[in-house]
Amino acid sequence: MRLGQTLVDGVFLERPNRYLARVLVDGRETEAHVPDPGRLPGLMIPQRAVRLIYNPGPKRKTDYTLALVRHGSIWVSAYPVFANALVEEALEKKQIPEFKKYQSYKREAKQGDSRFDFLLERDSESFYLEVKSVSWVEGGVGMFPDAPTLRGVKHLRELIALKSEGYQTGALFVSQRSDACKVVPQDDVDPRFGEALRDAAKAGVQLLAYNCKVTNSTVTLDRAIPVEL
């Protein structure tokens, strides 16, 4: 997935709040929207190189959105919604082996009072899929979440409920960086999510994870990695 023609280089200075960063662009200090409200451990460090999407508009508070952060020798995507776009691109191209058998998919599919990222279908079989973006990696271990997530717990409980009703369900963790070798629940941050994830596995919810290749202008789904509980 190409990130477009409006990417510019910058330097991260500070993060006054969850949704705002102070950055340096062409020697001028300005503000950028941070699309990931999580804590982004190990990434929001002053003087780190960043890539910003330039997208000014009358209704926007900032002209820039933080897209990529340099971490040592690699780029890391700090844009959670990219994960869904990457999965959709991979579904279109039949690049996820576990889902090749499905003939069609829908985005933002409703089931009862719930809404899921994807509904995959073939004949009479339906598979409800939730996608989670992972940005926190230490020692090759991708960790989720990096902040408490009631929404994430709710999604897992809903997948468990659908599984009990006879539907196929799954959660796909997308590590938007290349250095994750596995994904684990971060119980120290949100023990309820870890508990829900283990309950999901016991209930037969399919748990998958992929890492990504990230350049200064592209993000692509790369290889499958294990989810360890």
Residue ranges of domains in the chain, CATH in brackets: 7-76 (2.40.50.580), 81-225 (3.40.1350.60)
43 close to 83: Cβ distance less than 8 angstroms: no
pLDDT at 49 over 90: yes
148: confidence class by pLDDT, cuts 50, 70, 90: very high
**Global model pTM greater than 0.85:** yes
Closest CA to 31 of 77, 6, 62: 62
Closest CA to 175 of 225, 126, 217, 130: 225
pLDDT at 59 over 90: no
Query: pLDDT value at position 112?
Result: 79
Distance in angstroms (rounded) separating the CA atoms of residues 107 and 63: 29
Closest CA to 209 of 193, 190, 225, 222: 225
Distance in angstroms (rounded) separating the CA atoms of residues 25 and 51: 10
